[in-house]
Amino acid sequence: MHYIEVQKKDFNVGYEYQQLVKDNSSDGAVVFFVGRMREFNQGQKVSALTLEHYPGMTEKLLAKIEAEAQERWPLEDSLIIHRYGRMEPGEQIVLVVTASAHRKAAFEACEFLIDWLKTKAPFWKSEETAEGTKWVEAKASDDQAADKWSEK
């Protein structure tokens, strides 16, 4: 199963896991990543985060990167759920699940997908802090994390 969803509403990690693994006895390794809204970013308290995206383009690029992950690793299942809209500290933002017969492939593919999502996916963040609401600038360290995958 290969699944992508860009949605405003929250997701249930336990439910998504059950859906993914039911009737499946070939996936020995399932790796999940859940990205959550942090209360502090670079030392500053953030009361809310709003993610804007480009509907249509987001889904297209997510499908492309998921297909790339499937080419690079022997993935039985993969799942990406990414939220947009306004979120408060502790809320879930993104879920990536990869499943494979072996753990190395599942870990690498999951890390590849989340590195891409966190840096190259067409989302724009604005943060609400005591100083007001402002758009977040792209981070160089995130780009490096995503770039390591192009060396392969």
Choose from other proteins, a copy of itself, none: what does 67 bind? Cβ within 5-8 Å by kind. none
Separation of CA 127 from chain center: 19
Can residue 38 be called a binding residue for a copy of itself (CB under 8 A)? yes
Q: Do the Cβ atoms of 16 and 81 come closer than 8 Å?
A: yes
* Strand ranges for the chain from DSSP E: 2-7, 29-36, 40-41, 44-45, 48-53, 75-83, 85-87, 92-100, 123-129, 132-135
Min dist. Cβ of residue 80 to a copy of itself (A): 15
Q: Which is nearer to other proteins, 35 or 89 (CB)?
A: 35
Q: Which is nearer to a copy of itself, 57 or 138 (CB)?
A: 138
Q: Which of 3, 11, 17, 149 binds a copy of itself (CB under 8 A)?
A: 17
Separation of CA 106 from chain center: 15
> How would you class 90 by CB atoms within 10 Å of its CB: exposed for 0-12, middle for 13-18, buried for 19 or more?
exposed
Backbone angles phi, psi at 24, to 5 degrees: -130, 115
Min dist. Cβ of residue 89 to other proteins (A): 16
Separation CA 51–CA 127 (nearest Å): 9
Can residue 89 be called a binding residue for a copy of itself (CB under 8 A)? yes
Separation CA 15–CA 24 (nearest Å): 15
The binding track of 109-138 with respect to a copy of itself, each residue x by CB under 8 A or -, is -xx--x---x--------------------
Q: Which is nearer to other proteins, 45 or 139 (CB)?
A: 139
Min dist. Cβ of residue 78 to a copy of itself (A): 15
Give residues in contact with a copy of itself (CB under 8 A). Answer: 12-15, 17-18, 21, 23-40, 89-90, 101, 103-104, 106-107, 110-111, 114, 118, 145
